């Protein structure tokens, strides 16, 4: 031992000296370690895996749809990569369709090899919310000046001074909605997705009963949105259309018949009973009942401080999978949809990625990975 120490000690002393000398010659460089993927290590085995995965997705099984709040900037971590999602996911919906980064465009083709389809969000709720903000801004401007510049810019040429402001706003919304819907569809076409997810909440149509004038107004309002989508579907018969929101509030139920799946938004559900109640509410006359998807979210707090994404003290993602397996006779449960899926990547456990989504997949399809 002493002999070993005798020869080792001078080396240990010399090392810092050598490092110090080297630092005077060159700058240190970081080394990027690259590990070969399974595809590179065994291409034949990976090809067999892809074939099996694609066969699974074309077979009858519980569908898993996820939506991602994709950033316009390149992914900063794995939670922002499409390729990091579990392979068994059937659909990935990109919520930001106007500014998709190049990395995601590349990854769209990669996940398609796994049988995963990429969709884009067409959002009526966002159009309506933005329009309300415009009206609020106009009202604020009008309260500050008798003749606001904003009012003059938005005033239609055929609008008369005596026109009812409510009627004028309704007519202006129809034009605004058509413009924004067309803009979203143009973005979808340019992106080249495999289809669209239509997000529409609306309001309870029972409030329109026996009021022909209000019914006609709401029909025109919804038509500004859904008519363009129906035309898009005819022109893109090979693309898929999925409805999301409150189908019972749609006047023209034809668009629901064209939808492959109907996602019932259950972000507010606190237990499995409430999930079932929301589906029963959605099962209005004219709504197909053979394609319901339970729509949940990763946990978040609303602006009012309400907690969403938790059911019976656990993740709503897992609860939705358990709900899907409960047999019913009135309608068909086709699977689950998860909003904000990127938030589940770590979920307080860096050692296990997408833990709730993976657990849900295992519940729905134990043989899937």
The rounded mean pLDDT for the chain is 86
Q: Please state the rounded mean pLDDT for residues 72-94.
A: 95
Architecture of domain 63-364: Alpha-Beta Barrel (3.20)
Question: Which pLDDT tens digit goes with each residue over 140-152?
Answer: 888 876 554 545 5
Q: Which pLDDT value is given to residue 3?
A: 40
Of 22-31, 169-178, 220-229, the least confident? 22-31
Q: Residue 5 pLDDT > 60, yes or no?
A: no
Statement: residue 26 has pLDDT above 80: no
Q: Is pLDDT at 190 greater than 60 in this prediction?
A: yes
- Whether the pLDDT of residue 360 is over 70: the answer is yes
Provide the pLDDT confidence category of residue 17 given band limits of 50, 70 and 90.
Answer: very low
Confidence of residue 74 (pLDDT cuts 50, 70, 90): very high
Per-residue tokens: 160: 């008369």
Domains in the chain: boundaries: 63-364
Q: pTM for the complete prediction? A: 0.84
Query: 200-221: per-residue pLDDT in tens?
Result: 999 999 888 888 999 999 999 9
| Tokens, residue 152 | 């003059």
Token digits of residue 170: 């309704």
pLDDT average, residue stretch 334-355 = 90
Tens of pLDDT, residues 261-311: 999 999 999 999 999 999 999 999 999 999 999 999 998 877 777 778 899
């Amino acid at each position: 031992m002493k002999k070993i120490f005798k020869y080792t000690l001078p080396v240990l002393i010399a090392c810092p000296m050598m490092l110090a000398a080297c630092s005077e010659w060159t700058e240190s460089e970081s080394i990027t370690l690259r590990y070969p993927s399974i595809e590179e290590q065994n291409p034949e085995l990976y090809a067999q895996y892809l074939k099996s995965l694609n066969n699974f997705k074309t077979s009858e099984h519980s569908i898993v749809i996820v939506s991602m709040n994709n950033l316009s900037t390149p992914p900063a971590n794995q939670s922002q990569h499409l390729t990091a999602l579990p392979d068994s996911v059937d659909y990935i919906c990109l919520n930001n369709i106007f500014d998709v980064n190049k990395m995601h465009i590349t990854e769209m083709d990669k996940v398609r090899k796994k049988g995963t389809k990429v969709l884009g969000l067409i959002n009526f709720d966002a159009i309506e919310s933005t329009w309300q903000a415009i009206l609020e801004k106009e009202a604020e401007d009008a309260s500050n000046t008798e003749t606001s510049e904003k009012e003059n810019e938005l005033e239609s040429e055929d609008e008369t001074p005596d026109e009812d402001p409510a009627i004028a706003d309704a007519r202006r919304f129809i034009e605004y909605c058509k413009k924004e819907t067309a803009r979203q569809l143009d973005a979808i076409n340019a992106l080249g997705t495999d289809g669209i997810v239509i997000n529409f909440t609306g309001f309870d149509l029972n409030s329109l009963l026996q009021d022909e004038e209000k019914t006609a107004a709401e029909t025109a309002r919804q038509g500004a949105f859904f008519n363009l989508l129906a035309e898009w579907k005819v022109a893109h018969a090979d693309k898929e259309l999925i409805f999301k929101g409150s189908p019972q509030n749609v006047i023209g139920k034809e668009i629901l018949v064209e939808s492959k799946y109907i996602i019932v938004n259950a972000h507010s559900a606190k237990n499995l009973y409430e999930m079932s109640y929301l589906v029963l509410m959605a099962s209005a006359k004219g709504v197909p009942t053979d394609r319901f998807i339970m729509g949940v979210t990763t946990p978040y707090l609303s602006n009012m401080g309400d907690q969403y994404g938790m059911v019976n003290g656990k993740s709503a993602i897992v609860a939705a999978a358990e709900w899907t397996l409960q047999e019913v006779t009135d309608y068909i449960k086709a699977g689950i949809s998860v909003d904000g899926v990127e938030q589940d990547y770590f979920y307080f456990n860096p050692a296990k990625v997408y833990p709730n989504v993976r657990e849900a997949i295992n519940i729905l399809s134990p043989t899937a990975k």
